[in-house]
Amino acid sequence: MNKAEENLYYAMTESDNSSFFAKLCRLIMKADPINKTLLGMIHPDYVDAVEKYQMQEGYWEELCEKMEKKL
C-alpha cells in the first residue's frame, strides 16, 4: 500500500476532509479524461488509486482491510 492509497482511504471515509491530498483524490474523481491525464502527469499514484477505486471490483474492500490492519 502506498501513500496515495492511504490518502484515498482517508478521503473516502472522511477521516481527513481538509488535507490537500483528500481534496486531490476528490478532484481526480470528478475530472474529465483530459484533466485526469494531466493530473496523472504530476500525481500518477493518486490517479492510479482513484481509477482502481472507480473501476476495479474488490479494490475498495482490499484497501479497507489493509488499512484496518495498519491502524
Q: Average pLDDT of 25-29?
A: 95
15 or 22, which is more confident: 22
Q: Average pLDDT of 46-69?
A: 96
Threshold 0.75, pTM exceeds? yes
Instruction: Give the chain's mean pLDDT.
Output: 93
| Grid-cell match 488535507, residue found | 19
Return the pLDDT at 40: 97
Return the pLDDT at 17: 66
Task: Inform me whether the pLDDT recorded for 19 exceeds 90.
Answer: no
Angle at 43 between CA 42 and CA 44, to 5 degrees: 105
